[in-house]
Structure 1
């Protein structure tokens, strides 16, 4: 296959009361932000420990850990709180395995919204369950009952870390971004670098220090109409370019292995 294959982890929700009422789902905008850059989406079911990890990792050249209606269950960051809103423990277990494996293999990945929170939890960080309830923080939740272009429109400013990965990708020190999250990073995970901070002090983007490949997460949604936003396009383009580089290296290794047989 000439196209890089980008993995999209799925959510697992029970949409009916039947025992067979479980569905594996992903938002179409994430699929579009893969195909729109000439890649092919590979859906990754939320099988947790039963996921055939080698098959997935051997197939992909990058993974996009997208957003979701669900929240990471607090038990995954050693909190006994029962959690707020919709939970999805199968996704939690699956994604944390996948992220760790990507880092070990040097497979590029990007975390979006829930994805950046998953990165923080993987590295031992914690989450605010209600950012709007934290003293001094803005209300980062989605504005309800408005058109998509309003809900996903620019809401607040973020300042990018000078010289950081995101700054190098975007080329600007500031961005106006959308905001549709209730939870957010509290204690930063060890091994992560802050890449962007909201005007209220909330961490909005992180990268993995010393990662072998592109490993960046953002709290906003750059996949929404990325073609209309040059900064969003630069971010997604950088991820996809890293995936193409990984794919080229993978094909070269395969050719070398064949030549040696």
Structure 2
């Protein structure tokens, strides 16, 4: 099972109008590789962490319409756009637990930004307002294939995790984010950079298992993009290896 953390939004004005949601494309990026998605509610400190971690072989921290609230990276700014503090609280706990336990994970878009915040980094709230940066935001009112189509180049860090997975030093990626990494968190390694200097992928230095975040969306029609497919396959291979290791440990415990 691959965990998918959910967003928590109030879609009606009623007190019972709260919904826990995840994009269907992330579900397909799990089931398409033969895994089963375990939905993880945004319960913050009330989440039964042990039950979740004992059940999964990996976690995919997907993107969202919301942004990480600035209070989680030490900024008193009220934030821009939709906020989702319950998700922030839940995911930051889950990320730390995955790192401690050696559970493989992949951060996508917001998921990569959450990784940076966990490690003490900060975010640009409007990348397009930073001098020299491209406008990385989603192109509106166009077909999905255009909005999610390759839009800019990234250069992969030679010898890094992503380079080893993809096998190429460069790749074209889509871009649908308004926020992005400003100060890199201590303990993270840069895995890819856009031609404008914006960090586009990071990994956890010295991680026990696959621990990678990318700013683009490899889940979108990954079967049509060999590089996206390689990235998702590498994550799922790591999850399978972790699951096999868990089963082996259980068998040894039973035999003992």
- Using the size of structure 1 for normalisation, the TM-score is 0.98
1:205 equivalent in alignment to 2:201: yes
1:228 equivalent in alignment to 2:218: no
Aligned residue pairs, count: 256
1-structure distance, mates of 2:39, 2:254 = 29
1:143 to 139, 153, 156: 139
Q: How far is 1:258 from its partner?
A: 1.1
1:243 to 218, 228, 239: 239
Instruction: Provide the residue aligned with 1:68 in structure 2.
Output: 64
Root-mean-square deviation (Å): 0.3
Instruction: Provide the residue aligned with 2:129 in structure 1.
Output: 133
Q: How far is 1:17 from its partner?
A: 0.2
Query: Unpaired segments of 5 or more residues in structure 2?
Result: none
1-structure distance, mates of 2:72, 2:45 = 14
Instruction: Provide the residue aligned with 2:43 in structure 1.
Output: 47
1:89 equivalent in alignment to 2:85: yes
2:159 to 153, 163, 184: 163
Instruction: Provide the residue aligned with 1:118 in structure 2.
Output: 114
1:34 equivalent in alignment to 2:30: yes
Q: How far is 1:259 from its partner?
A: 1.1
- Using the size of structure 2 for normalisation, the TM-score is 1.00
Q: Which runs of 4+ in 1 moved over 6 A?
A: none
Instruction: Provide the residue aligned with 2:15 in structure 1.
Output: 19
1-structure distance, mates of 2:141, 2:8 = 26
Instruction: Provide the residue aligned with 1:257 in structure 2.
Output: 253
Q: How far is 1:140 from its partner?
A: 0.1
2-structure distance, mates of 1:33, 1:94 = 21
Instruction: Provide the residue aligned with 2:211 in structure 1.
Output: 215
Partner SS for 2:186: coil
